[in-house]
Chain A
Amino acid sequence: MKEPTKPIVTAPAETETPLALPRVSVTEITHEDLDRAVDRERVFRARARKGPFGNLRLLWLLVGPGILVMLGENDGPSMLSYAATGARYGIGFFIPFIILTFVMALVVQDMTVRLGAVTHRGHAELIYDRFGPFWGRFSMIDLMLGNFLTLVTEFIAIRAGLGFFGVPPWVAVLGTLAVLYVALMTHRYWTWERITLAAAMFNLVFVPAALLTHPQWGQIGHALVSWGPLPGGVNKDMVLILLADIGATVTPWMLFFQQSATADKGLTPNDIRFGFTDTLLGALLAALAAIATVIATAPLFVHHMSAANFQAAEFAQALEPFIGRWGATLFALGIFEAGMVACITISISSAYAFGEVSDQPHSLNLPMREGKAFYTVVFLGAAAASALVLIPGLPLVSVVLVVNVIAVLAMPPALIFLYMLVNDRELMGDLTSPRWANVLATIVVILLVGAGVLYGISVVAPNVFARIGGS
């Protein structure tokens, strides 16, 4: 049952939302409401201002969930996948392919903005409400299992990134848990969002690392146009990297996080256009960092250095002869940052979903006394995952790749729920997803299922690729 937030004032009810769902019989105003109202008031004021400064101010106030989800998904295992891509395949097929994966992410994430802004509800809650607890539990198992495994890989990245500087694993883990605690103890969505956004911008340290390799721009342009070369053709290893790169961009936690964050931030249907801009900006920044990572590790491919079993710190060490100490330092810092920011966003996506399905208060605007369950889920998930990576002898690289593959495989069921919710007229009224977005989302589902089937074939019958021209 819902633990009641402290009712301060009971006022006569507003009885009907614009879409007549749901009806609110009693209105209790809480501190969470007050904080959200302060944020909305700023938006109203910015909207009232005419001219470019008004629009810029509005953009500044409304961006957040989209950039956070995209840069958050440029996490430890993602950057490791991009690094492995550059080291094994150089500059070629995977440069345009990574752009395609971000287009796919943009299409589906924009749907979550629309859902969150219109319904003011999180993704898990809507799945439980509209499809019932049977399908809701499946969805939650997918999310919680995926999130936990991904959190483990974030701590692997944190440990490896700081390991480059000689920081002991237990110090890296405890330091990250302390940062997570500090980020949450603001008890204010807006402050948390700005702090995390600032930290997420450090994802772009991969750009100077890439520039230090003195990339050949003509080769990059050729790759973008020709989708090649693809050394070795289609084979088992290539399919694993392909799936890992898709899993580095589109995963179930992103759907849950962005919709819940959109609702928690207080976005309304008037803000959907800015929500798209937010997600687009996030996709552009994240794609830039991802491609920069491929370019930064491409010298390992050129110099035929085997990177099959590299971890993050080993990538940085191997790159040092090509990009210098500063470049390698940036690379290691980037891996650490990627793990840390994702640790924050993924933990929070779990806590949002848990709160939504258990009717517990769930907002980053909650004071600790009202949001004990919410904050406990954030910390327990992160602490359990962090403890796991301290186990000696854990096959870290295998865990990272498997986690990304599982993320891709779990996406089609999650996307079908999203597709049906965002086209549900009883929920969305006239604000259902536009036809072009539905067509693109359908293509994304087909591509993801196709990639999954390709992966299945590569594992069960790898010889098939040799017959169609791969190695």
Chain B
Amino acid sequence: MTETPQHDATHISAQESEWVMHSLEADQLASARAEHYPRRKLKRSEVILFWGLRLYLLFMMGVVCYQVWTTAR
């Protein structure tokens, strides 16, 4: 824990920068967001699960549309 430096709204001093890096974890910095986590390889069972749930959602959206249509009639 360090003393909070005085902040100027338009400029960040070297002292402030050092303090920020001390206070935040490295991947909390805005610049760290440029780095992305690598893609994971999906297992066959996971792909089947994803597709199953996607088809479930599509089917159920059809049911919602049917209900809206019958109610509107």
Contact (Cβ within 8 A) B29 A412: no
Residue in B26, B28, B33 whose CB lies within 8 Å of A16: B26
CA distance A34 to B17 in the complex (A): 8
Residue in A130, A142, A459 whose CB lies within 8 Å of B37: A130
The A1-40 residues at the B interface (CB cut-off 8 A) are: 2, 5, 7-9, 11, 13-18, 21-34, 36-38, 40
Q: Given A5-B30, A16-B26, A459-B66, is A416 in contact with B49 using a C-beta cutoff of 8 Å?
A: yes
CA distance A413 to B70 in the complex (A): 27
Q: Given A361-B30, A426-B40, is A37 in contact with B64 using a C-beta cutoff of 8 Å?
A: no
Contact (Cβ within 8 A) B12 A138: no
Contact (Cβ within 8 A) B21 A406: no
Q: Given A130-B37, A410-B57, is A14 in contact with B21 using a C-beta cutoff of 8 Å?
A: yes
CA distance A37 to B46 in the complex (A): 39
Q: Given A9-B14, A460-B63, is A27 in contact with B25 using a C-beta cutoff of 8 Å?
A: no
Q: Which residues of B contact A201 (CB under 8 A)?
A: none
Contact (Cβ within 8 A) A420 B32: no
Residue in A26, A34, A132, A359 whose CB lies within 8 Å of B31: A26
A161 interface residue per 8 A CB criterion: no
Question: Shortest Cβ distance from A379 into chain B, in angstroms?
Answer: 22
Q: Which residues of A contact B14 (CB under 8 A)?
A: 9, 11
* Chain B binder among A104-112, A211-219, A286-294, A449-457: A449-457
Contact (Cβ within 8 A) B1 A120: no
Contact (Cβ within 8 A) A31 B12: yes
Contact (Cβ within 8 A) B4 A30: no
Interface size on A, residues (CB 8 A): 72
Q: Given A38-B4, A398-B71, is A266 in contact with B28 using a C-beta cutoff of 8 Å?
A: yes
CA distance A361 to B4 in the complex (A): 25
Contact (Cβ within 8 A) B36 A22: yes
Q: Which residues of B contact A373 (CB under 8 A)?
A: none
Q: Which residues of B contact A142 (CB under 8 A)?
A: 57
CA distance A129 to B67 in the complex (A): 37
Task: Tally A-B pairs: CB < 8 A.
Answer: 168
A372 interface residue per 8 A CB criterion: no
Taking each of B33, B34, B56, which has the highest tally of chain A beta carbons within 10 Å of its own beta carbon?
B33
A177 interface residue per 8 A CB criterion: no
CA distance A33 to B35 in the complex (A): 16
A409 interface residue per 8 A CB criterion: yes
Contact (Cβ within 8 A) B30 A363: yes
Contact (Cβ within 8 A) B12 A17: no
Contact (Cβ within 8 A) B23 A44: yes
A60 interface residue per 8 A CB criterion: no
CA distance A17 to B68 in the complex (A): 50
Contact (Cβ within 8 A) A9 B34: no
CA distance A28 to B32 in the complex (A): 9
CA distance A361 to B30 in the complex (A): 8
Question: Shortest Cβ distance from B73 into chain A, in angstroms?
Answer: 13
Contact (Cβ within 8 A) B35 A23: yes
Q: Which residues of B contact A36 (CB under 8 A)?
A: 24, 28
CA distance A45 to B32 in the complex (A): 25
Q: Which residues of A contact B19 (CB under 8 A)?
A: 37
A237 interface residue per 8 A CB criterion: no
Q: Which residues of B contact A135 (CB under 8 A)?
A: 50
Residue in B13, B42, B63 whose CB lies within 8 Å of A459: B63
Q: Which residues of B contact A7 (CB under 8 A)?
A: 31
The A113-150 residues at the B interface (CB cut-off 8 A) are: 119-121, 125-126, 129-132, 135, 138, 142
Q: Which residues of A contact B27 (CB under 8 A)?
A: 17, 21-22, 24, 119-120
The B41-73 residues at the A interface (CB cut-off 8 A) are: 42, 46, 49-50, 53-54, 56-57, 59-61, 63-64, 66-68, 70-72
8 A-B interface contacts by CB (under 8 A): A8-B12, A33-B24, A36-B24, A40-B23, A44-B23, A402-B64, A456-B59, A459-B67
Residue numbers of B with Cβ under 8 A of A are 1-2, 4, 7, 11-14, 16-21, 23-40, 42, 46, 49-50, 53-54, 56-57, 59-61, 63-64, 66-68, 70-72
* Known interface pairs A11-B18, A420-B46, A424-B40; 19 further A-B residue pairs with C-beta atoms within 8 A, sorted by A's residue number: A7-B31, A22-B36, A23-B35, A27-B21, A27-B26, A27-B31, A28-B31, A29-B17, A30-B12, A33-B30, A34-B20, A121-B33, A129-B37, A263-B28, A406-B61, A412-B53, A412-B56, A449-B56, A455-B63
